[in-house]
Amino acid sequence: MSYNINAGYGAVVANNVTGKTAGKTFYVSATSGKNIEFMQDVFGTDYDGLGRVYSTIALALAQCVTGRGDVVVVASDFTTAPTDAELTSAGTKGVKITVSNQGSVSEFVEMGASKALPATTTGDIFTVTGVVEVIAIIGVVTTVVQTQACNLKLSTVSNSATTDISADLNITGAAAQSRMSITGTFANATINTAKGVPVARQATSLIVQEGTIIATTSATNTGNIRWSVRYKPLQEGSRIVAA
């Protein structure tokens, strides 16, 4: 097999991003990523016959060798957060997963399943590992909320301390496809955009530490909401998963 003249370029990039490494560097980008064609051209097959660019973190990790010092660099427009299995595999093999593109950190999106409203209590919607920057939280009403007075707010729980990240909103009769969101200012009420398009980013992002993000209701109302969150990890291994 002929030697790929670009095979060492990836190591140079990884050294600039993560520090010196004696291992191999692999790249992850969505097949629809804006830089995928460039990446495939520049980071072609290396001198051992290994491909360099993959469409999932799991596929890239499968090429890594335990203890070699390999690095997986995730493109900034790749928005699928690492799974438990991927993080475990990386930890076992000693692989560093770096989410970067010219120094910028990628934004991830985590989407949960449609869940019934908690009954006059709190319900976990996301679990936070490490430290993250929350850019937007959006809840889509998938089943109309019962017409009965009921307030909804969101909070974080970390080190046994609960912090409200939005104030109460009366969601009685909220229609299917309504969008719930927050501004990032704690004193502001949760927002209900009735069958409309919510703001993609909060006016103020939040630094959230390890723990949970919860929803609290003041009454037992029927109705379902599907929550999603857009965030950036601020520490290696940090992420948000649906509860």
Question: What is the CATH classification number for the domain harbouring 230?
Answer: 2.60.120
45 and 77 in a common domain: yes
Distance in angstroms (rounded) separating the CA atoms of residues 105 and 107: 7
85-98 pLDDT tens trace: 787 788 788 888 77
Total number of domains constituting the chain: 2
User: Does residue 132 lie in a domain region?
Assistant: yes
Per-residue pLDDT at 21: 56
Write the CATH number for 22.
Answer: 3.40.50
Predicted local confidence at residue 123, as pLDDT:
96
Task: Looking at the structure, tell me whether residues 112 and 95 fall in a common domain.
Answer: no
pTM summary value: 0.65
Question: Could you tell me if residue 147 is inside a domain?
Answer: yes
Instruction: List the chain residues with pLDDT less than 50.
Output: 1-7, 9-12, 14-20, 102-103
- Give the model's pLDDT for residue 66: 93
The domain in which residue 123 lies consists of: 108-242
Separation between Cα atoms, residue 173 and residue 154, nearest integer Å: 19
State residue 196's pLDDT score.
Answer: 66
Element (H, E) at 92: helix 84-93
* Amino acid of residue 102: Q
Closest to 72 in 3D by CA, of 237, 196, 195: 237
Question: Does residue 1 lie within any of the structural domains?
Answer: no
